[in-house]
């Protein structure tokens, strides 16, 4: 157990040196940090409670949510009545309801029977059913009305706000390490707080991210008529004119009904064209979307295919051959920044409805420099107190434990820098806590060594047995805490997540320092002794 090969020693020292190099940039001034090479610019950020940042309050357009639902109801009414082979006039939307008329009044009752299954229970398993989501009734001898109920609208608003919160969080913090706070306020408002935002450019980027719905649809372009020709004559039935970006024609004439939507997207990642080296977006569909995409591309070789984002055509490539793999590329002379932003928007999904920013400001740190200094002071006092106890209790091996604890702190900060995590005040508390946890592992090892010495073993055998037999106990105890930390990170938010980050990273570095660094130091000490019996070190 104490035998350390040369490659293990080199690897351990390399990890410690790398951790130190990654940790140092966090303590440099801005001028010195900016002077570092790009490869060395790794630094953890400070949370809103320590550094301040952007504070934006948004409101969701619930009228748009209601309008979208009425549009879906309208499509479902057409589908069901056609399947029932009932003659009807095109359903319309008026006064918050879908109205459908029947040329033959005697068909009204049959239409009501065909549409009744559309109504479902409102509510959920936790709150209980609160009635039906649709009120379907005969409002005249020859027409029906389908009206969404208020409980169902409230339930949809709640679901939409919840979905929007997760989408915003994925857009602003795709890795979950920046401590972006996204919370619901009231019936239709969402509060967004992002730490470290100082410039107008950074604030504008957040505004654009919140405002863009990122609703993507895929449409076939008219095979023969151009947008200009349609404007001079008339737009054919089943088609519509849609504005395009400034990279091509001003408008495109596309089919009104999309053949695919962004809901079928499985992934969207930035990339570069292998021939032109231009930035592109590489996307792929799920199984359903891939099957539809393959069928559409097979049947429309030579025809253009418009990709529409938030009502604008961003690309309209031509099907050169059947695309059966369910993947494709979006190109259009994008910049790298545009490709990264669009990929993040598409990957996170589209917002259920439009968000409007009603309040925004850049806030200062609620806790600020005093709390940072107090956190540093608490960490130093904790480290000094632990060091004094360990040296007093275990002598030279206590020094080894202190060195391991110091490296533990360095490695935690290094990992946070490498991951781009955000340090919050609860995160500082987590670092201080893991200092004690790191030393606790050494205490278990050293007490095991003392027990082996009392049983009559030689110092060398006792040290070897202490590290070997304490290993399983420490791993079990650290593993349970690690699982708890992962759950806090996955399910928590804000301060809870900040604490979970340092806790889980601290457990990883604790195991490394206790069983690798401290054991390596013990191995060096043993090798420096004579091969004869030596006094017990503990």
- What DSSP assignment string belongs to 443-470? HHHHHHHHHHHHTT--HHHHHHHHHHHH
Domain check: are 342 and 396 in the same one? no
List Cα–Cα distances, 323 to 141, 218, 277, 288, 475, in angstroms.
51, 15, 22, 14, 50
Residue 214 and residue 346 in contact, taking contact as beta carbons nearer than 8 Å: yes
70 assigned to some structural domain = yes
Treating both helix axes as pointing N-terminal to C-terminal, what angle do 459-491 and 425-454 enclose, rounded to 10 degrees? Answer: 150
78 assigned to some structural domain = yes
List of residues 6+ apart from 328 with CB closer than 8 A: 282, 283, 284, 293, 317
CATH number at residue 253: 3.30.1360.200
Domain check: are 396 and 473 in the same one? yes
232 assigned to some structural domain = yes
207 assigned to some structural domain = no
Domain check: are 441 and 294 in the same one? no
CATH number at residue 99: 3.30.1240
172 assigned to some structural domain = no
Final residue belonging to a domain, choices 298, 324, 350: 350
Residue 298 and residue 268 in contact, taking contact as beta carbons nearer than 8 Å: no
The predicted pLDDT at position 177 comes to: 65
381 assigned to some structural domain = yes
Domain check: are 381 and 522 in the same one? yes
One digit per residue, the tens of pLDDT, for the chain of length 538 reads: 566 678 888 888 899 999 888 888 887 777 777 777 767 777 887 777 777 788 888 998 888 888 888 888 888 888 888 888 888 888 888 888 889 988 888 888 888 888 888 888 776 544 445 677 888 888 888 888 888 888 888 888 888 888 888 888 888 887 666 668 788 888 888 988 888 777 778 888 888 888 877 788 889 998 888 888 888 888 888 889 988 875 556 888 888 888 888 778 888 888 887 777 888 888 888 888 888 888 888 888 888 888 888 888 888 888 888 888 778 777 767 788 778 877 877 777 778 888 888 888 776 665 556 666 776 677 678 778 878 888 888 888 888 888 888 898 899 999 988 887 878 778 888 888 888 888 888 888 888 888 888 888 877 788 878 887 887 788 888 888 888 888 888 777 667 777 888 889 988 898 888 888 888 888 788 777 645 444 555 6
194 assigned to some structural domain = no
- How many domains does the chain contain in total? 3
Domain check: are 42 and 86 in the same one? no
Domain check: are 393 and 425 in the same one? yes
The predicted pLDDT at position 390 comes to: 85
Domain check: are 69 and 42 in the same one? no
The predicted pLDDT at position 249 comes to: 65
CATH number at residue 524: 1.20.1640.10
Residue 353 and residue 68 in contact, taking contact as beta carbons nearer than 8 Å: yes
Domain check: are 326 and 375 in the same one? no
Question: Which residues constitute the domain of residue 127?
Answer: 62-155
Domain check: are 445 and 494 in the same one? yes
CB atoms within 10 A of CB 461: 15
Residue 259 and residue 219 in contact, taking contact as beta carbons nearer than 8 Å: yes
Cα 294 to Cα 298: distance, rounded to the nearest angstrom:
6
Final residue belonging to a domain, choices 132, 155, 178: 155
Dihedral pair phi/psi, residue 196, rounded to 5°: 80, 5
Domain check: are 372 and 520 in the same one? yes
Final residue belonging to a domain, choices 105, 136, 155: 155
Quote the tokens at residue 470.
Answer: 């304490």
174 assigned to some structural domain = no
Cα 523 to Cα 12: distance, rounded to the nearest angstrom:
13
Domain check: are 17 and 81 in the same one? no
| pTM score, whole prediction | 0.61
Domain check: are 381 and 421 in the same one? yes
């Amino acid at each position: 157990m104490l035998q350390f090969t040369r490659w293990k020693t080199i690897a351990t020292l390399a990890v410690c040196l790398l951790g130190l190099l990654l940790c140092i940039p966090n303590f440099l001034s801005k001028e010195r940090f900016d002077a570092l090479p790009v490869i060395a610019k790794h630094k953890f950020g400070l949370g809103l409670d320590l550094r301040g940042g952007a504070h934006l309050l948004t409101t969701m357009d619930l009228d748009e949510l209601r309008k979208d639902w009425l549009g879906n109801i309208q499509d479902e009414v057409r589908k069901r009545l056609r399947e029932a082979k009932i003659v009807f006039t095109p359903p319309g939307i008026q006064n918050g309801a879908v109205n459908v008329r029947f040329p033959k009044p005697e068909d009204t009752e049959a239409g009501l029977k065909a549409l009744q299954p559309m109504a479902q229970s409102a509510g959920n398993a936790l709150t209980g059913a609160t009635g039906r989501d649709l009120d379907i009734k005969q409002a005249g001898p020859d027409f029906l009305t389908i009206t969404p109920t208020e409980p169902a609208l409230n339930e949809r608003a709640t679901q939409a706000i919840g979905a929007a919160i997760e989408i915003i969080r994925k857009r602003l913090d795709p890795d979950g390490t920046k401590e972006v706070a996204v919370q619901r306020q009231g019936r239709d408002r969402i509060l967004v707080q992002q730490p470290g935002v100082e410039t107008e450019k950074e604030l504008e980027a957040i505004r654009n991210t919140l405002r863009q719905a990122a609703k993507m649809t895929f449409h076939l372009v008219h095979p023969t008529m151009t947008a200009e020709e349609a404007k001079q004559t008339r737009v054919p039935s089943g088609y519509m004119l849609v504005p395009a970006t400034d990279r091509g024609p001003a408008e495109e004439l596309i089919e009104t009904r999309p053949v695919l939507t962004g809901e079928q997207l499985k992934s969207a990642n930035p990339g570069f064209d292998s021939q032109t080296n231009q930035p592109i977006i590489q996307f792929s569909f799920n199984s359903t979307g891939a099957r539809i995409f393959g069928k559409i591309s097979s049947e429309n070789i030579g025809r253009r295919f418009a990709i529409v984002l938030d009502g604008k055509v961003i690309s309209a490539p031509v099907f050169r051959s059947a695309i059966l793999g369910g993947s494709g590329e979006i190109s259009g002379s994008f910049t790298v920044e545009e490709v990264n932003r669009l990929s993040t928007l598409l990957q996170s999904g589209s917002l259920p409805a439009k968000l409007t920013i009603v309040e925004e400001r850049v806030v200062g740190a609620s806790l600020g420099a005093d709390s940072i200094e107090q956190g540093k002071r608490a960490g130093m006092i904790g480290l000094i107190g632990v060091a004094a106890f360990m040296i007093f209790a275990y002598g030279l091996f206590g020094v080894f434990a202190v060195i391991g604890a110091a490296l533990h702190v360095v490695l935690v900060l290094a990992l946070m820098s490498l991951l781009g995590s955000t340090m919050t005040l609860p995160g500082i508390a987590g670092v201080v806590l893991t200092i004690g946890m790191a030393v606790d592992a050494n205490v278990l090892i050293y007490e095991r060594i003392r027990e082996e010495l009392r049983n009559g073993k030689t110092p060398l055998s006792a040290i070897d047995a202490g590290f070997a037999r304490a290993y399983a106990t420490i791993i079990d105890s650290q593993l349970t805490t690690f699982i708890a930390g992962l759950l806090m990170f996955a399910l928590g938010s804000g301060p809870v997540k900040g604490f979970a980050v340092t806790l889980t990273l601290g457990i990883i570095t604790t195991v490394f320092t206790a069983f690798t660094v401290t054991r390596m130091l013990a191995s060096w000490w043993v090798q420096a002794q004579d091969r004869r019996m030596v006094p017990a070190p503990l």
